[in-house]
Structure 1
């Protein structure tokens, strides 16, 4: 069946992969964006309509959602000003916007809403990020729409800001000082996330349910940094930092211009394991890729060398 799908936040890392997947499946995609020019690479895909729109404006949001069979919300940020229970940026992106999207769906008669949350989302969690994500889930559920909510672990893939950042650091630094080295993650490949969303669009069994998403393996943060270094051919020594030093480092990064590499709130998030509490739901029909698929985009060298680096890291 062909759906008209409005993807809010569809111009980012995950969104670009999901939009491509939806188009491949024959769906029509409406893509609201602050600047059409910035999203023109997606605009050339068949069936994609770019609409310049401020999605935080309820009236504009309602107009762009009109006529859709389904709405997907992918909007999420990693950093915010500080506040209780969270800062203004988290409140705006993770709580207020989902509330506006759910209301617009109700007003326009859209009954299928798919919402991107995060593994560890908890209104009483240790970090502002987790609390805002938990409250965002709550407003979606309280809307009365039988929404599908996804909670992925950290997402990797071409163009990510996760493994690519670790690779970049090791290309530039002789040693990597690492906070929360023992934090645990279950990374999932971006195409697998896109597949799960696309599956939920067509599977009525997912209505009103919340799903965790993760890959086949669990890694410590230190192991992921080592993997990225091995894959890009620039593996460096890693220096795990004590908590007090890590928090000082994060506080300094927060004050530097630009997007911080790590914040104190990120450290708070990593006090909770970012791993699945059970197996993937069978109705998602998903067999996720392993981390080794990242070797191909982390190193531009020849395939045999890349795989040799991965096998060395994996002890194979």
Structure 2
């Protein structure tokens, strides 16, 4: 019988790419999510019955144990940017990660791959960075041979980064950002999926790998790259950290009072995160150690950001038409 992998958060942005690749490798794929009825899009990734969405709440031991029953490998893609509520940083990044690792060890799961993030640091300024680091430590305490992947900001057709700012550029003449000079190393989501699959197949040595794309740019330059792709001219306005620290609490309070109908545009923890560059450390293991050549963002951005152009898919045609000579 084909081997079985349980992917926690396997219907999310990164998880779906991993699920598709694992199915192509011939594995049975169990996609463990809180809302299986909203994860039906993963089923066509394999033959009938090969990819199966199942219910799982990583805050519950029995739920995680059921999701891991009979699994040969596990991949944890679950993460959050929410510091409050039941699924807050500690519950997801630390307790949830530890629960998955401990039960994996208990059940004899051979391989565990844990998705963390560049910047994970127990002494970091943000709660996000601190809890990511604590989660890594908990995973390694339970399964010392686990593979930990730390991607920079990920991009791809379903991303919430370039798509978010592309939407803003469509309706606003100003793009407000925080941390204009903070550096990022955007990485294609499917390159991260390749790394996770290689780890699951036992082709990667245990350890921690930081994954960044071939391009390193400041936040401001990333917005310039995006604007060039969507053929729009906008003012990129940097909001100083001191000002962002005032705006963030107001945004968070508004989100709470509206019961989430008006999502927080930025949080205080995100402001603190943006003070630190999000790039691969000089001494870190990365894609080169995994035998993967990462894809440049400029190669792929036009493939899905074209819809934010003034005339969408017809923008290039209209631009060419301007050069036609009239008789």
Q: Is the contact between residue 245 and residue 271 of structure 2 (CA under 8 Å) also seen in structure 1?
A: yes
CA distance in 1, matches of 2:167, 2:152: 22
2:35 aligned with 1:35, yes or no?
yes
In the aligned structure 2, how far is the partner of 1:239 from the partner of 1:81?
29
**Contact conserved, 1:180 with 1:246, CA < 8 A, in 2?**
no
Q: Tell me if 1:132 matches 2:141.
A: no
For residue 155 of structure 1, report the CA deviation from its aligned partner. 0.4
TM-aligned CA distance change 1:91 to 1:175, over 3 Å: same
Q: 1:136 Cα deviation (Å)? A: 0.3
Corresponding residue for residue 171 of structure 1 = 170
- Structure 2 CA distance for aligned equivalents of residues 240 and 50 of structure 1: 42
Residue of structure 2 equivalent to 1:11: 11
**Deviation at residue 211 of structure 1 after TM alignment:** 0.3
Q: 1:179 to 1:120 in 2, by over 3 A?
A: same
Preserved contact between residue 175 and residue 236 of structure 1 (Cα < 8 Å): yes
CA distance in 2, matches of 1:176, 1:204: 43
Q: Is the contact between residue 79 and residue 263 of structure 1 (CA under 8 Å) also seen in structure 2?
A: no
Moved more, 129-138 or 103-112: 103-112
Offset at residue 304 of structure 1 (A):
8.7
Within a 5 Å distance, the mapping from 1:1-316 to structure 2 comes to: 3-46=3-46, 47-81=50-84, 89-207=88-206, 209-257=207-255, 258=260, 259-278=263-282, 280-292=286-298, 293-300=300-307, 301-302=312-313, 305=316
Judging changes above 3 Å, is the alpha-carbon distance between structure 1 residues 178 and 111 closer, same or farther for their aligned structure 2 residues? same
Aligned pair count?
302
**Alignment root-mean-square deviation, CA:** 2.2
Q: Deviations over 1:189-208 (max 9, x none)?
A: 0111111111111235422x
Cα distance, 1:253 vs structure 2 = 1.8
More displaced 10-residue stretch of structure 1: 15-24 or 89-98: 15-24
Output the TM-score relative to the length of structure 1. Answer: 0.89
Question: Quick one: distance in 2 between partners of 1:68 and 1:221?
Answer: 41
Partner SS for 2:209:
strand
Alpha-carbon separation, structure 1, partners of 2:159 and 2:265 = 14
Larger displacement relative to structure 2 (68-77 or 249-258): 249-258
Distance in 2 (CA, whole Å) between partners of 1:78 and 1:125 is 15
CA distance in 1, matches of 2:77, 2:143: 20
**What are the ranges of 5 or more consecutive residues in structure 2 without an aligned counterpart?**
320-327
